[in-house]
Amino acid sequence: MFTGLIRTVILYILIIAGIRLMGKRQVGELEPSELVLSLIIADLASVPMQDFGIPLLTGVVPILTLLSLTMILSVLTMKSVRFRAVLCGRPSIIIRNGQMDQREMARNRLTVDELLEELRSKGYTDPSMVKYAILETNGQLSVLPYANQKPPTARQLKVAVEEGGLPLVVVSDGQVLSHNLRALGRDRAWLEKRLQERGCKSLEEVFLMLVDESDAIYLARRAV
């Protein structure tokens, strides 16, 4: 039991550190090499976790090797466009000027049903509404509609809109996030005054408070 506990902690920390080193992209969008890495690491970690007859090193050494290789590959893909194309592939244009490129679809083993499903999920029911649909290297379909299919922007409508700025969390679950308050150029006294204005006697009453650069405030009280 003790061995299993310690091994799990060690392997978990090792994997978290490795994933963290690879950057945020690993979490959401997996390139082929990253997907392979994730699958292998999960298996490598689970075996010595369960089987105490195998030394921990037989799990740690391959994981460290894989993480090193991935780091080398990620640096090389950043430095070389050609290497990036080899390792990650190139984006494929599936729809061009409303026309489906059947050869590209076959090459990427993308069926019509899958393509239509992806288009529907992005709000397009008909390929003819789409100027370009590009299958990205991470498997996501980017859809660029014809200009006449896009919703008009405020600039196109010549409407003046107020710029809100980035809202920052100032109070989260009763805790003041001082660094965000400082980033907004405000202090505790300002915060307390704003809370009083909104009828909050103490911070404990606040579940979430967001403030943006134009001092617009969103306040959610804690449920009683």
Partner 1 sequence: MKRLWIAAGLLVMLLLASLGNAYYARELTGGMTDRLGEALTLAQAERWEEAEALTRQVYRDWERHHTYFHTTMRHSDTDQVLRAFRAVMEYLAIKEMDQYAAANADLVTQLELLAEMEQPSFVNVF
Report which residue type is found at 213: E
Q: Which residue type, as a one-letter code, is found at position 161? A: V
- The minimum distance between CB 38 and partner 1, in angstroms, equals 17
Q: Can you tell me which of 53, 151, 152, 199 binds partner 1, judged by CB under 8 A? A: 53
Query: What CA–CA distances, in Å, run from 20 to 15, 24, 67?
Result: 8, 7, 11
**Least distance in angstroms from the C-beta of 63 to partner 1:** 11
Which own/partner contact pairs does 39-46 have at CB distance under 8 Å and 24+ positions apart? Answer: 40/66, 41/15, 41/66, 41/67, 45/11, 45/12, 45/14, 45/15
Residues 221 and 205 sit within 8 Å (Cβ to Cβ) = yes
The binding track of 1-30 with respect to partner 1, each residue x by CB under 8 A or -, is --------------------x---------
Residue 129 is a binding residue for partner 1 (CB under 8 A)? no
Asked if 68 interacts with partner 1 (CB under 8 A), we say yes
Stretch of 71-79, 126-134, 189-197, 198-206 contacting partner 1, by CB under 8 A: 71-79
Q: Are 181 and 191 in contact (CB under 8 A)?
A: yes
Binding-residue pattern over the window 79 to 118 for partner 1, x denoting contact by CB under 8 A: ----------------------------------------
What single DSSP character describes residue 99?
E
Residues lying near partner 1 in the complex (CB under 8 A): 21, 52-58, 61, 64-65, 67-69, 71-72, 74-76
